[in-house]
Amino acid sequence: MLHTSRLPIMIWLIFIVTITALTNTRVMSTETKYSRTKMNLFDPVLSANSYTGHIKENEYTGQIEPPLSASDADPSNSLNGKICGYEVSWHKHDDIVDDITRNVPFTVDLVNNQPILKFKSNIDTLDCEIQQTYRMYIRAYDCAPIEKRRYSERSSLIITVDDVNEYAPVFTHSHYLFKLHENQTCDSASCRVEATDDDCANQDHQVCGYKIITPNVPFSINSNGIISTTATLNNDQYEFDVMAIDCDSSNNNSRMISQSARVTLKIIKSCKPIINDNAPSKLVIQSDHIHLFDTVNVNACDETCNVQDIVGTVELDTNGLDSGCNHDQC
């Protein structure tokens, strides 16, 4: 049986032993945690040496192929063995003077542990007509504290800005004038309209179709803008409107059409230059000067002949005189 005078002393000893045990436990826990953090032995490894990303110019998230992932050989139950994020940079090596992530327009964020390509909203809007491809690099890093963090080797990341159909085709001229001789047919040289499209997906700026929108005309038009006759041309002139259709293949309903252009086609009749003179065969001169060609009419076929000069021969009849004459005699 314990003596009552010793009871406070024993309680005090038990309290000291308990405090010491708890303190030692905390020290061991801290040392163990420090040891786990310190033993970061392996760099993360990306799943591929190169990746491609696609993002539409009117969106802020995109996809990466092949699927982006990384692994770490450190214990998976430690921070060192987990992947905490990805870093996108302009350069492959750290010894580049420029800041690695300076002005980089893209990030890769983890959403539900899945990497998502994102466009930074604080940078100008993506516009593939200005820049369609970005050549960058990406690396993974583990979850260790920053001073002990380890990074993977960098892999290439080529990001393509996918076009959004925002520009309608535009004709090179608002009015086309073609001239055809009788019995001449239209071809690529004589009857062709042209439109261009400035969407960046259309690198050749071509359009995929043309259409005559004026009904009941004896013409057709193909995908290259070449106009052909479909019937005999009996009139001297024809006028009709055409439109161009772009090449957007994502959705036929989203294809854009141009403003119409006017086509005028003139038929040039066969013509031979003719000179007519309504004056008598002989002109009697009754004054000291006279206009000889007031009665002459020249039909030079304006559509086919560009007259620069007319040369004629004038014969004077001296009425039998050997030399000289006056106005009463000539």
Domain end residue (candidates: 240, 268, 296): 268
Domain containing 93 equals 45-162
Number of domains in the chain: 3
Q: What is the DSSP letter of 218?
A: S
More confident residue, 51 or 121: 51
Quick one: 90 and 179 in the same domain? Answer: no
Kindly tell me if the per-residue pLDDT of 275 is higher than 80.
no
Contact 137/151 with Cβ under 8 angstroms?
no
Output the pLDDT for position 36.
Answer: 45
pLDDT, tens digit, 9 for 90 and up, residues 98-155: 555 568 899 999 998 899 999 987 777 788 878 889 999 999 999 999 999 999 999 9
> What pLDDT is attached to residue 205?
66
DSSP-assigned letters across all residues of 16-81: HHHHHHHHHHHHHHHHHHHHHHH------EES-SEEEEEEETT-SEEEEESPP-EE--S-TTSGGG
Name residue, tokens 């000889």. Answer: 292
Task: Choose from 148-157, 239-248, 320-329 the range with maximum mean pLDDT.
Answer: 148-157
pLDDT-derived band at 219, boundaries 50, 70, 90: very high
Least confident of 114-128, 194-208, 276-290: 276-290
Q: Which of 35-39, 178-182, 264-268 has the highest mean pLDDT?
A: 264-268
Which two three-digit tokens encode residue 284? 């009697």
Check whether residue 59 and residue 79 sit in a common domain: yes
Looking at residue 311, its pLDDT comes to 74
Contact present, 71 and 43 (Cβ < 8 Å): no
Output the pLDDT for position 139. 96
Position 245 scores a pLDDT of 92
Q: What is the pLDDT of residue 121?
A: 76
Least confident of 164-168, 176-180, 247-251: 247-251
The Cα–Cα gap between 199 and 168 comes to 8
Residue that terminates a domain, selected from 162, 196, 215: 162
- What pLDDT score was predicted for residue 185? 79
> Are 94 and 51 part of one and the same domain?
yes
Domain stops at, among 221, 236, 268: 268
pLDDT in tens, 24-41: 555 444 444 444 445 899
Rounded to an integer, the average pLDDT of 153-168 is 90
Cα-trace Rg, the chain: 46
Average pLDDT (38-56) is: 92
| Together in a domain, 190 and 295 | no
Residue 294 has pLDDT above 90, yes or no: no
The full 3-state SS of 280-324, as one line of letters, equals CCCCCCCCCCCCCCCCEEEECCCCCCCCCCCCCCCCCCCCCCCCC
Element (H, E) at 10: helix 7-38
What pLDDT sits at residue 32?
45
Distance CA 312, CA 82 (A): 102
Query: Phi/psi of residue 10, each to 5°?
Result: -65, -40
pLDDT at 159 over 70: yes
Q: Is residue 308 part of a domain?
A: yes
The two three-digit tokens of residue 275, written as one number: 């000179």
> What CATH number does the domain containing 249 carry?
2.60.40.60
**Residue 39 included in any domain:** no
Q: What average pLDDT does this structure show over 285-297?
A: 67
Q: Are strands 209-212 and 227-229 parallel, antiparallel or unpaired?
A: unpaired
Q: What is the pLDDT of residue 27?
A: 41
Q: Note the pLDDT of residue 103.
A: 80
* Judgement on whether residues 255 and 294 belong to the same structural domain of the protein: no
Pair (157, 92) in one structural domain:
yes
Name the β-bridge partners of 141.
85, 151
pLDDT of 298 strictly over 80? no
- What is the average pLDDT across 60-66? 93
**What's the distance, Cα to Cα, between the start and end of the chain in Å?**
178
